[in-house]
Amino acid sequence: YTTKEKIMRYFIAHLPKGPIEKYHHELVQEVAGRFSLAVSAGYFPTHFTIKAPFEISDISEVKNELEKFATSHLALPYAVHNFKHFSDRVVFLNVDLPQKTTKIVIELQHALKEIPPLSWSDYEPQRNFHITIAKNLSGNFENIWAYLNQKDVPLFDLSLDNITLLRKENGKWVVDTIYPLHP
């Protein structure tokens, strides 16, 4: 008797805490409502991606690597500052990582790259860290961009104090495990 291993979909991110969560959620709802866009942010918490979605049947090696990383690194500062975009496809909050913080994120990505079953896209490891406001802009990019540029420039000073494994469940991304980085 053999059982077929269940393949699950995951991604690895940082979940910022505090006022930015409310700000991001409200901004996503506001832009989606004003420009008749589907709200994708309801399907996952406020985050910036460290490792894009992947499918795997046994997540234990990934969890071990994340645990090892979290216990050997301290929380580091970063900022969310300004609105930016990828061509006319995605508008987002810009994540500004200082050099030292960038170095540890890249270190984590390289450690994850050593895990054979993980697949990596052409856009990885990621370097343009961001918190998506809206994507699939339905030809509305110019209007959305003009609207965002009328708003006060967001500025949040934050701490990279967790690495989080998220799992797709019933069409939504849910937190599987949070790995805290200590202050």
The number of residues making up the chain comes to: 183
| Angstrom distance (rounded) from CA 176 to CA 173 | 9
What average pLDDT does this structure show over 118-130?
Answer: 80
DSSP state string for 44-70: S-S-EEEEEEEEES--HHHHHHHHHHH
pTM of the model: 0.90
Structure confidence by residue, pLDDT tens digits, 33-51: 999 888 764 567 899 999 9
pLDDT score at 98:
96
Structure confidence by residue, pLDDT tens digits, 76-120: 999 999 999 998 999 999 999 999 999 999 999 999 999 988 888
